[in-house]
Every structure is written in structure tokens, then in C-alpha cells.
Amino acid sequence: MYDLEKFIRELERKNPAEPEFIQAVREVCESVIDVVNSNPVYLKNRILERITEPDRVFSFKVEWEDDNGDIQVNRGYRVQFNNAIGPYKGGLRFHSSVTLGSLKFLGFEQTFKNSLTTLPMGGGKGGSDFSPKGRSDAEILRFCRSFMTELQKYIGPDTDIPAGDIGVGAREIGFLYGQYKRLRGENTGVLTGKGLNYGGSLVRPEATGYGTMYFASEMLKAHGDSMEGKRVAVSGFGNVAWGAVMKATELGAKVVTISGPDGYVLDEDGVGTPEKWAFMLQLRSSNKDVVKPYADKFGCVFVPGKKPWEVPVDMAFPCAIQNELGEEDAAALVANGVKYVVETSNMGCTREAMEYFIDHRIPFAPGKAANAGGVAVSGLEMSQNAMHLSWTSEEVDGKLHGIMKSIHEACVAEGREDDGYINYVKGANIAGFKKVADAMCALGY
């Protein structure tokens, strides 16, 4: 039998100064502890020790020359967390906050998220503390080349397939894939999120945001409700927020906020026109990491230095980065009458915020369920690459929709509590965990 607190203490001892990793592991273990303790096969297999230890971790030096001719040094990583159900799969994050601990949390989360997608993909994550903010395209190209020169030693189309994440979009994937092809002479599609004319999939850019809204629609349906007329707060302004605002609008909701490190925009008319969506893409590609220009251009309110959670809304979608929504934010949202919270960033809510929503019986979807549409369409891109053909957007979107529905069903099946409340955190963790744990037991040690 596992003693949860003792297990976490030992985990902290083995992984010092990695608070996000400990936070992510604790959340999963709290959900699955009864399932594990009542299963002799899991106990005999020491499943918690094995599932919380990454298979391997690579760390490498990335040297590149900036536009002034000065040499810069960053650190690159790839965490291959777990390949029990398929090859390692997960994004690359280029952001100043990247550390080994943050990538271990992301790789751990990815393992269960990928399991939920129903596709055969294991979990991995990588990236660098390099920040594209304020960099020229030429600098980003030189960084990406140097990064891939090392990374290519560890990845392959049947072993480890990276993709984008924060700071890694279509431009960076292009530069990275270009260098991979130069070095390896292959066209195997080793990265996903590629451009359409060199092996990418339709709908991949929109997939995370679309998927989250498909999940939200299922969630609302399960509560006898619909997206129609809902007032929505979104944080972030990157690829995920962009897909989310487009699909939310199509489903009849009104998104009134987006945000950046500089503050948030309150757009009472709604972030609901193609011109506004196109401007979000421009903001992202400008490498400035600010949203104020949106408020200036469209004449709406800009609130500097704040997060959008103080705005009264029916639904909140954190779409930026881990722990972006804390307990005070949760309390403000609940006090203002929020009805649903759909975490779209990975672990976007602190432990205290998540518990606040659950204690107040607000339906709360965790990122590993709600944002799985991105990696799901990455999985579909892998299938298309392996078959050397491409599907129409209707085919891809239809499969994405089906996957998000099935993730929602899995959460309900494992997460319904005695009072009828659907605990999506518990449901996602148990459903994602069981598949990986069973595969690990079947494969032996």
C-alpha cells in the first residue's frame, strides 16, 4: 500500500527544486491513489515510482550568434518521459521560464494527456530557456539551427516526435525541420505542426483552441447548457488563444478578453471578427510579447499589469502558461458568478485555485483533458505523414471532434462523484493513468 504523503516526500527528495513537477505529480497521485492501492498488480509493479520517473533526460548546449555578432549560450532539453503506449510525443517550449523541472512537469502531464487522446503516443517535452522576445527572425533561425543540430541525435519519426508549444509556432517549426532535413536527408515528418506544403496537417494550427471548445461544448451539454450567448474570458494571445476565440465565436459565445505579460484587453464588442484574429497572429509574429497594440488598434480598454480574471464572465479559459490563475483569481471569478472553468494551458491553475473551483462545485476541466486536441491532431499529422497523403480539413476536424467527445466521456465515466458532481480532474487523471499503467505492467520492467 502507498502512503501518499510519504511517497511525495520521497519524490521531493529525489527531485529537489522542481516545484511544478511535484505539483503535477501530486495532483495525479491524489486522484489515482485509491485505484492503485486497491490493485495488487499496480502495487506489485511499483507503478507510482515507475510512472513518475522519466525514461531519460537530455540536456545540451545551444550556441548561436546574435545580430550584433555576439555569441549567446542557451540550454536545450528533451525529456523522454514515458513510451509505454507509443513513441515519445510532445512540444518544444522556448521561454525564459524553461527549466528542467518545468519540462519534467510538462512531460509527465503529456503522458496522460496523450493517453486520453486514444491515439498511440507516449509522453515527452523539450525546449530551451531561449526567449524569442525582442529577437529578429534571423536570430531565431540561427538559434533553431543550433538547437536542432543537437536535438536531432535524440529524435526520430518512430521514437520521439516533437512539436510546438509556447514560443514555438509555424516559423520555428519550419526552421527546425529545415535543419533536421539538412542534417539527416529524410522526409519522415519528424516534427508535427509543419507547414501545409511540406507535410503539415490541415487544422493543426487551430486544433488546441478548437479542441478546447469542443470539450467545453460537451461539458455544457452534460450540464444541460450550451455555449450560445456565453460571456467568456480568455487569457493569452498566442496560437492556443487564437484557435479558442475563433471556435468560441462560431459556437455563439462572446470572448471579451485576451491578455499578455503586459496586461489584459477588455473588448466588450467581442474578439469576434477575422480582422481581430488576423491581428492576434501579427502580434505573435512581431516577437514583442505584448497585447496593448490590440487595444490601441480596436479602441478598447487595456488594463496594464493585470490578469483578466477580475472581469465578470460565465466561462474562463486560461490559455497562457502554468499557474497563471491563483486562489484569489479563482475567488474573484466565483464571486462574479463564473459557471465553468476550462483550463487550456497546461496546469494553468495553481493547486489552490483548482481546489477552490472543485470545493465550490464549479465544473472545472483540467488542461490534460481540455487541451488534448493539439497533440491529437499532431497524432493525425503523424498518420498522414506515414501514409504519404493528406486528409481534408473536414476529415481532420471530424476526427478531432470525435476525440474530444471521447475524452469528455472518459472523464465523466471515471470522475462522477456521489453528489452527481463531475470531477473532471479526477476523471482525466484516472482514465489517462490506467491506460499507461496497464501498458507498463503488460510490458514488464
Report the interface residues with ligand 2IT, using CB under 6 A: 89-91, 110, 113, 163, 165, 192, 346, 374-375, 378
Q: Which is nearer to ligand 2IT, 230 or 284 (CB)?
A: 284
User: Three cell numbers at 366?
Assistant: 483540467
399 has catalytic annotation: no
Which residue of the set 89, 104, 113, 125 is catalytic?
Answer: 125
Q: Give the integer Cα–Cα distance in Å for 63 and 76.
A: 10
Pick from 15, 14, 48, 46: which is nearest to 29 by CA?
Answer: 48
Q: Which is nearer to ligand 2IT, 163 or 266 (CB)?
A: 163
Query: Minimal distance in Å, beta carbon 23 to ligand 2IT?
Result: 16
Residue nearest to ligand 2IT (CB): 91
- Each residue of 81-115: b (16+ CB within 10 Å) or e? bbbbbbbbbbbbbbbeebbbbbbbbbbbbbbbbbb
Q: Which is nearer to ligand 2IT, 257 or 346 (CB)?
A: 346
Query: Minimal distance in Å, beta carbon 378 to ligand 2IT?
Result: 3
- Torsion on CA atoms 325, 328, 329, 333, rounded to nearest 10: 140
Task: List the Cα angle 28/116/415 in 5-degree steps.
Answer: 55
Q: Write the burial class of residue 349 (CB in 10 Å: 0-12 exposed, 13-18 middle, 19+ buried).
A: buried
Q: Which is nearer to ligand 2IT, 211 or 308 (CB)?
A: 211
Q: Which is nearer to ligand 2IT, 54 or 91 (CB)?
A: 91
User: Three cell numbers at 19?
Assistant: 516545484
- H/E stretch holding 125 reads strand 122-128
CA 293 distance to own-chain centroid: 26
Q: Within the chain, what is the greatest distance between any pair of CA atoms?
A: 64
Query: Minimal distance in Å, beta carbon 257 to ligand 2IT?
Result: 22
Q: Write the burial class of residue 258 (CB in 10 Å: 0-12 exposed, 13-18 middle, 19+ buried).
A: buried
Query: Minimal distance in Å, beta carbon 263 to ligand 2IT?
Result: 25
Q: Which is nearer to ligand 2IT, 15 or 110 (CB)?
A: 110
User: Three cell numbers at 97?
Assistant: 521560464
Amino acid at 90: G
Query: Minimal distance in Å, beta carbon 355 to ligand 2IT?
Result: 23
Query: Minimal distance in Å, beta carbon 345 to ligand 2IT?
Result: 9
Contact 290, 261 (CB under 8 A): yes
Q: Which is nearer to ligand 2IT, 125 or 254 (CB)?
A: 125
Query: Minimal distance in Å, beta carbon 407 to ligand 2IT?
Result: 13
Name the DSSP class of 58. Answer: E
Q: Give the integer Cα–Cα distance in Å for 23 and 108.
A: 11
Q: Give the integer Cα–Cα distance in Å for 412 and 71.
A: 52
- Catalytic machinery residues: 125
